Amino acid sequence: MALLILFVLIGIPVIEIYVFAEVGGIIGGWATVGLTLLTAAIGAVLFRSQGLAVLQRAQEQIRREETPLAEIIDGVGLLLAAAFLFLPGFVTDTAGFLLFIPPLRVVLIGMLFQSAARAADSHVWIVRGRSGKTSGTSGSRTVIDAEFEDLTDTEDKPGTDADRSGRELPPR
């Protein structure tokens, strides 16, 4: 992890400076600056259009009382793509433009979440809608046993005593 942080803080800027120098030598300094500003402007337009579409899909899923997990992942990918395009440099611009391709974005951000979950040795469970279906991945086989109380409203069956979780109580 320390090597990754070192690469991000030192390696990427060094690569960007090298690419800037090479591109500047080919097309000129002002054209290089103009191209950098152009990629930032294109990134803002792409972020706005794709971001609004993701937001609308998420709102629709929330209206249907579903968890907008795919849209959240999509939104994280779009934020990352926009950040890469606003950073000056051609290498980060390339990464940003790649993240604006929806299928690629979903795959890359999904891989990022999975590796983070594995590194944290945590469990990620996804619950969709009211169906109760769950899916998820586990970084380890740790099981946490817990008790819970269901606080949803339940109708008492006639002639029986039931507690708040709907379980029938023993006769008094």
Query: Mind listing the pLDDT tens digit for each residue in 92-138?
Result: 999 999 988 988 887 888 788 788 777 776 555 554 445 444 444 44
Could you tell me which residue, 148 or 76, shows the higher pLDDT? 76
Residues 6+ positions from 154 with CB-CB distance below 8 Å: 162, 164, 165, 166
Q: Bridge partners of 138?
A: 123
Q: What is the pLDDT of residues 24-72, one digit of tens each?
A: 999 999 999 999 999 889 988 989 998 899 999 999 999 998 888 888 8
The candidate with the shortest Cα–Cα distance to 79, out of 96, 102, 61, 64, is: 96
Stated pTM of the model: 0.60
